[in-house]
Structures are given as structure tokens and as C-alpha cells.
Chains A and B, each alone.
Chain A
Amino acid sequence: MKFLPLIWKNVWRRKFRTTFTLLSLFVAFLLFGLLMTIKAAFSLGVDIAGLDRLILIHKVSLIMPLPYSYLARLQATPGVSRATHQTWFNGIYQDPSNFFANIAVEPEAFLEIYPEFRVPPDQVAAWLADRQGALVGRDLANRFGWSVGDRVPLIGTIWQPKQGQVWDFNIRGIYDADEGVDKTQFFFRYDYLDENRAVGEGLVGWYVVKIADPSQAVALSRTFDEMFANSPAETKTTTEKGFIEGFATQIGDIGAIMIAISSVVLFMFGLVAASTMAQSVRERTSELAVLKTLGFSGGTILALVLAESFFVVLVGGGLGLAAAWLFVRQGDPTGGLLPLFTLPPRDIAIGVALMAAMGLLAGAAPALGAMRLRITDALRRV
């Protein structure tokens, strides 16, 4: 502890150099934070997907509808606590570039199966009372400035109403949720869709089944798929996690690309930090020799140099990571292209670990050199 002032002095002996080293480390970890946020955004929230929810889709492809009649059979299967269905609507709000997910659901079963969506009780009641009612995410409501009671028209693409092209909805509720949960979705009532669509009555997109015991997921998936085997609409059942993972791999390996870029970035700036440390120790050779002459042990010298390197990396990197966190908290800058925009706590921890490793690596060589310094050689070198 008593050496703190000495370390402080050493850090700032060349203000210009230290400032720029700090700045480049700041940029490095700011980038790291942002890249990890993009990586998380493209994993589509797979980390928080429920393991007790199974998704049943048509075996041929996701776009093929399933009959409504499956619901009763699923609900009657032992081990199922609640089954419901959902239908992709793909409606357009004003312009195709305003894309957001809009899905027809059964309100009561939906809210029971997805407890992570928090809705005030009076808004739930209003939604259940209004056939044209819709429940929208907080982020989506903010994006378009919607509030409860607003009337929102969507242009039908897959599903056309019996007359015209426009479906009208009343916003009856706005849901909130923890960080990491998609708050950009638009849910509305299936009965409204089914009664008013021109074709396709009695068809649903896919089923979501909440099971009582997650360890039964594999067995139940097989039961379901066997139940509908050899029917006109065979099914393929996966856990919600598996389903989202499958969707994420379809986008491609964004995660691997982001990790590759991060590695380039950290290597690049790690090199800057290491070269600065080496330079700074080289300049002080005679000074270190004097310290040794005064009786400082090799170990203390080693610790002094390492502490200096840790300090620089942790301050620069820490500020960078904090800046990334603050930036991400402002929300998705693309206005809805990335529904999940958060910096996962796990990646923050990884970032701090990387800083420690970088501080050690950058300081190790110069510190060891300083420790092994022979006083006579060093003093002669000048």
C-alpha cells in the first residue's frame, strides 16, 4: 500500500503517452462490449428461453399451418400443463421497413405460459374484453409513440380480411419484462383473425406447450410427434431453446464473426499496451537499478511494474466497458432491427477477466526483465 504514490508517479511520468494508452484501451473495451452486445442480439435471447416450453411446428416446414384440432389432443396429454397455439401474421404497419413481429395468440393461455411478460391486471381485463385488442411490448410502443387506447391499422400480407386489406387493432395493454426479453412484439387475439380472414379458417401457425417437468421434454416431444404421425400434418417438436437456436444458426454464425473481430481488436490494443509498458520500463532502467541499490527486492520491483500495468489496463478498459454498458442502455440504435439489445452480465465478467489477463501479459516481460536486472550492468548502461 505504501508504494501506491510511487506507482501513481510512474504511471504519469509521461502524461502524453499514458493518456493515449488509456484512450486506446478505452476504445478496445468499448468495442468489446458492443461486439458482445451484437453477438447476444443475434443469438435471439436463447439464454433465457424456457426449457419447460415445447414448440410444435409442421414437419415439412415452419410455414405450413397446423389444424386447430390438435389443441385438444395436446391439452389432454399427461404431463402437459397448458397448450396453446400462435400464428405468424406478418402485417405491415404503414411501410414494410417498420418491421416488427405480430402474432395471433389466445390471450389467457398466452399470458399463463409466458409469465415473463408483465401486464397490469386492468390492461389484461381490457384485452380480454376487446376482440380487436392488442398487447404490445414497451420498446415497440416507445418506437411508434403508441399508448393504451390507440388504434393501429396493419396491412395484411399472408392473411387478408374478408374485405379490403387492412386490419384494425386497439392497443389494450403494454407489456414490460426483464432485460434480455424481447419487448418489440405485437400480440393480438386469434379469434379476431380467425373470424375475419378470407381463407384459412381453423388453421394455426404452431403450438406452444408448457410441460410440468422439463426433464420430460424429450419423451413428450416424441409422444407428440408419434401422435400426429401419418396424418396430413405431421409435426416436429423441439424445446423453445432448441427452436430459437435453430433460428439463430440460420442467420449464420454471427457469434463467431463477432468473437473473431473482438480477438483482432484485443490483440491489436494488447500489443499497444505491451509496447508502451516495455518502452516505459526501458526508459527507467537506471532508476530501477537505483531502487535495487537502495534495497528493494526483485519481487517488489516485479510487483511495482505489474501493478502499473494492471492499473493502466483496468482503468482504460474498465472505463471503456462502462461506456459500452451505458451506450447499450440507451437502447437499440437501429430502431428495431435488433430486438434484444443488452450487454449480458456474463460478457462483462469475461471483459474484466480479459483486462486482468492483458495487464499481466503486457507487464510480464518488462517486469521480469526489471526483476532480473543486475545493478552493475544497469547503472553502467547509461
Chain B
Amino acid sequence: MRWLAQTAAVIALNLRTVPGRLSSSAVAIVGIAGVVVVFVSVLSIGAGFAAAMEGSGAPDRALVLRSGADTEMTSGLDGPAVDVIRQAPGIRREGAGALTSAELYVMLDIPKRSAPDGSANVPMRGVEPAGVTLRDEVSIVEGRMLQFGTNEVIVGRAASGQFVNMRLGDTIVSGQNRWPVVGIFEADGGVAETEVWADVRTLQGAYRRGNTYQSVLVQLESPGSFDTFRDWLTSNPQVNLAIRRESEYYRAQSVAMTTLIRSIGFGIAALMGIGAIFGAILTMYTAVATRAREIATLRALGFNTASVLVSVLAESLGLGAIGGVIGGAAAYLAFNGYQTSTMNFQTFSQVAFAFRVTPSLLATGLFYALLMGLVGGLLPAVRAARLPISSALREL
């Protein structure tokens, strides 16, 4: 108990002298806050991208591509193959037809709003009517649904915001094609919100695809009927197909990008963290140096070395905590929800997403801040505890 009381007393004394050393403490705080800002904001890019991609697929939907194709972009299916797919067991059927949508996935060359002179590969999807109903996350938020059999299109909300000339009532001009925008839709923040949707048959004509498609999206009876569906198709000698759950397809696409962002984020943050620790060491070392006489006096009065050591560590941890909170708050205020778009390297098409500063990122940031404070305080604390009393008292 006495030890605790002593330590508390020394910490209190210590903290009371902090205002006198504000500028030097500020250096450590700014350093640690800087690391946390960079760490949290870079990783929030990865979190946002992953959320957009992973929120895009449902486990009870299957995506059928040509065997060998790794994305919709590189796949191709002819009409007869699509007819075979629609016969497969395990598909939910409503009324007469199977809930399937044979689709085309092409690109439009449209500039980003942020760079109106350039061009970006905006994905355009041709869907069948069932393609809209079986994606139950899709809802029209402005205007109306496109009319099948015409060249009307509906545009995802993110695409409408990121690219020029995609608002309700605009007409998208692409080569000799005209696509009037009659509706804006949302899809729970998934990648579909970056897409432009048209009637697949109109799109076949516009892109000269004849009676071919690129993918078939299938509503399964239940997530469990995936195996039945896949096995029937893979054992069917008429077709040569690759079948994936939709959720797995999108997760696989986000892996490369999120890994790259994570390694860059952690790499930069680790190096910066080392630098910030040096900053914290300097600050705490200065603090100990300016308080050398005070510390020596305490020791001469009989305060034990452990309490001196703990008090220095406590100050350093405090600086870390303040830096962590400031950094986390700054990253949250500046970046959470920030809308941007990037290229999905698997399909070379644009994906819009929002930065996500998640609670777990903030917690990790704070943890690193405390760690930096602790490590930064260690050496100076030992130094303070070892200070030879007599020579410290003699100094100036």
C-alpha cells in the first residue's frame, strides 16, 4: 500500500510539472498522433474497399462463368450453354421460370468528375428482368426502373456521383450509342452501385455480341443447394463452366487490393512508429533531464526507485494516449465516409467506395499509440531511476 501511495504521489507531482514542459511534450504528442492518423486513414481505405466488395455477393446466389475465366470480364457463354444452365437443379423457380439472369459485363469510357478530361472504365451490366428481382438488395431511389426492350438504363448511386453525365435525366453517349438515364439505384453499398445497368438484349446489339453472354447469376433454393447445382453442371458434358458462390467471387477479387493496401499501411505505420518512438524518447529524456534535481531530491527523501520509474512511464503513456486520441479523431473526422473510386485490377473497371474508419481500426490505432508511449518512456524511465543522487543534486 505504501508503495502505491508513494507512486501516486510521484505521478501527481510529475504531472503537475508537465505544463512547464509543454513544447517538448507537444513534440511527442504530435509524433504519435501523426502515426495514428496515417495508420488509421490508410487502413480505412482497405476497409472501405473490402466492405464494398464483400458486401456485393450473397451466399445463396451462384455465378456461372466459362471454365478458365477468372472474372466476368474475360468470360463468354453462348446461348445454348445458358439454356443448359437454366435447366440445372437447385435453382429457385417462381411460376414458370427459373430465377436466373444471363448477363453481359462491358465497359463504358466515361470521365470521372474529378478528372473531366480523362477517362475511366465504368462497368456496364446487361441484365434480364430476373436479374433485378433476384438481387433483393437493389432498390430504385430516384426515378424509375428501366423498361426492358428499350435502351433505357439505371445507374448505381456511386457511379452517378463519381462520373460525369450520369444523373437522372442525363443521356450517356458512348460511340454511336445513346443511353437515357431513367433511374438511380442503391445496392447496400456493394460494387453494383458503381455500375450502369441496361437490358441485356439491347446491350448485345450495341456491343455486337450476338446471342452470347458473359455470366449467369442464379438464385439458389438455399445456400446448401450450391453443391447440387455445381455438381450437376460440372458433370454435364455439354458445357464447360466455372461455378462459384457470388460472395466468394467478390471476396477473391478484393484480396489482392486489400493485401496491397494493408502491407503499405502497416509498413509505413511501422517505420513512422519507430520514428515516433525516437521522438517520445527524446521528449521523455528531456523531461527527466530537466527534472533531474527534483527526482534526485525525491530519492534522497526516501522515495523508492520503482515509483520514480513508474511515474516517468505513466507520463509517457499519457502522452501516447493523448496522441492516439487526437490522431484517431483527426482520421475519423477527415476521412470517414470519404467517397472515392479506384480500379479493380481483376476487371480493369472502376469500383466506387467510401473510406471506413471502423471502431476496430481506432482501437488498433490507440493500442499502437500506447505501445509507442510505453516503449518511448522505457529508456528514460530507467535512466531516471538510476540517476546517481549526489551528482544530480550537484548539477547546476
A interface residue numbers (CB < 8 A to B): 16-17, 20-21, 23-24, 27-28, 30-31, 34-35, 38, 58-64, 90, 92, 96-97, 99, 155-158, 160, 165, 230, 232, 234, 236, 245-247, 249-253, 257, 261, 264-265, 267-269, 271-272, 275-276, 278-279, 334, 337, 382
Residues of B within 8 A of A278 (CB): 23
Provide a sorted-by-A list of 14 A–B residue pairs whose CB atoms are within 8 angstroms.
Answer: A17-B286, A20-B281, A24-B278, A31-B275, A34-B271, A60-B207, A63-B121, A99-B345, A246-B118, A252-B340, A252-B343, A253-B114, A265-B34, A268-B34
Q: A60-B207, A96-B70 are in contact. Are A272 and B121 (CB under 8 A)?
A: no
Q: Which of B85-93, B126-134, B170-178, B309-317 binds A? A: B170-178
Q: Which of B33-53 contact A (CB under 8 A)?
A: 34-35, 37-38, 42
Is there contact, CB below 8 Å, between B256 and A97?
Answer: yes
Is there contact, CB below 8 Å, between A264 and B37?
Answer: yes
Is there contact, CB below 8 Å, between A268 and B279?
Answer: yes
> In whole angstroms, what is the CA distance A17 to B67 when docked?
64
B120 at the interface (CB under 8 A from A): yes
Q: A27-B278, A90-B74, A155-B68 are in contact. Are A334 and B27 (CB under 8 A)?
A: no
Number of A-B residue pairs, CB cutoff 8 Å, is 151
> In whole angstroms, what is the CA distance A99 to B71 when docked?
14
Q: A24-B282, A27-B272, A250-B343 are in contact. Are A60 and B109 (CB under 8 A)?
A: yes
- Which of chain B's residues has its CB closest to A278's CB? B23
Q: A90-B74, A96-B70, A265-B272 are in contact. Are A60 and B175 (CB under 8 A)?
A: yes
Is there contact, CB below 8 Å, between A272 and B278?
Answer: yes
CB distance from A99 to the nearest CB of B (A): 8
> In whole angstroms, what is the CA distance A63 to B120 when docked?
12
Is there contact, CB below 8 Å, between A272 and B282?
Answer: yes
Is there contact, CB below 8 Å, between A158 and B175?
Answer: no
- Which of chain B's residues has its CB closest to A200's CB? B76
Please name the 9 residue pairs, one residue from A and one from B, whose CB atoms are nearest each other, closest first. A27-B275, A24-B278, A157-B74, A61-B107, A268-B34, A60-B175, A252-B342, A250-B343, A275-B27
Q: Which of B150-158, B260-268, B384-392 binds A? A: B260-268
CB distance from A169 to the nearest CB of B (A): 17
B98 at the interface (CB under 8 A from A): no
Residues of B within 8 A of A230 (CB): 176
B106 at the interface (CB under 8 A from A): yes
- Which of chain B's residues has its CB closest to A250's CB? B343
Is there contact, CB below 8 Å, between B70 and A337?
Answer: no
Q: Which of B363-380 contact A (CB under 8 A)?
A: none
Is there contact, CB below 8 Å, between A337 and B260?
Answer: yes
Q: A24-B279, A337-B260 are in contact. Are A63 and B343 (CB under 8 A)?
A: no
Other 4 A-B pairs with CB < 8 A, given A275-B27, A337-B260: A20-B278, A251-B343, A271-B26, A337-B256
Q: Which of B94-114 contact A (CB under 8 A)?
A: 106-109, 112, 114
Is there contact, CB below 8 Å, between A160 and B68?
Answer: yes
> In whole angstroms, what is the CA distance A7 to B345 when docked?
54
B215 at the interface (CB under 8 A from A): no
Chain A binding surface SS class: helix
B141 at the interface (CB under 8 A from A): no
B258 at the interface (CB under 8 A from A): no
> In whole angstroms, what is the CA distance A215 to B107 when docked?
32
Is there contact, CB below 8 Å, between A23 and B109?
Answer: no
Residue with the greatest number of chain A CB neighbours at <10 A, chosen from B107, B112, B279? B279
> In whole angstroms, what is the CA distance A34 to B30 when docked?
22
CB distance from A159 to the nearest CB of B (A): 9
Is there contact, CB below 8 Å, between A62 and B278?
Answer: no
Is there contact, CB below 8 Å, between A28 and B275?
Answer: yes
- Which of chain B's residues has its CB closest to A230's CB? B176
B15 at the interface (CB under 8 A from A): no
Is there contact, CB below 8 Å, between A27 and B38?
Answer: no
> In whole angstroms, what is the CA distance A63 to B208 when docked?
13
> In whole angstroms, what is the CA distance A234 to B109 when docked?
13
Residues of B within 8 A of A61 (CB): 106-109, 121, 174
Q: A60-B109, A62-B348 are in contact. Are A31 and B68 (CB under 8 A)?
A: no
> In whole angstroms, what is the CA distance A59 to B177 when docked?
11
Residues of B within 8 A of A337 (CB): 256, 260
- Which of chain B's residues has its CB closest to A274's CB? B27
CB distance from B274 to the nearest CB of A (A): 6
From the candidates B174, B276, B350, name the one contacting A268 in the complex (CB within 8 A): B276
Q: A31-B268, A251-B342, A264-B37 are in contact. Are A272 and B27 (CB under 8 A)?
A: yes
B358 at the interface (CB under 8 A from A): no
Residue with the greatest number of chain A CB neighbours at <10 A, chosen from B31, B109, B263, B281? B109
Is there contact, CB below 8 Å, between A21 and B207?
Answer: no
CB distance from B253 to the nearest CB of A (A): 10
- Which of chain B's residues has its CB closest to A156's CB? B68
CB distance from B391 to the nearest CB of A (A): 16
Residues of B within 8 A of A63 (CB): 73, 106-107, 121, 348
> In whole angstroms, what is the CA distance A58 to B207 when docked?
11
From the candidates A232, A250, A276, name the one contacting B350 in the complex (CB within 8 A): A250
- Which of chain A's residues has its CB closest to B271's CB? A31
Residues of A within 8 A of B304 (CB): none
Q: A60-B207, A250-B343 are in contact. Are A279 and B275 (CB under 8 A)?
A: no
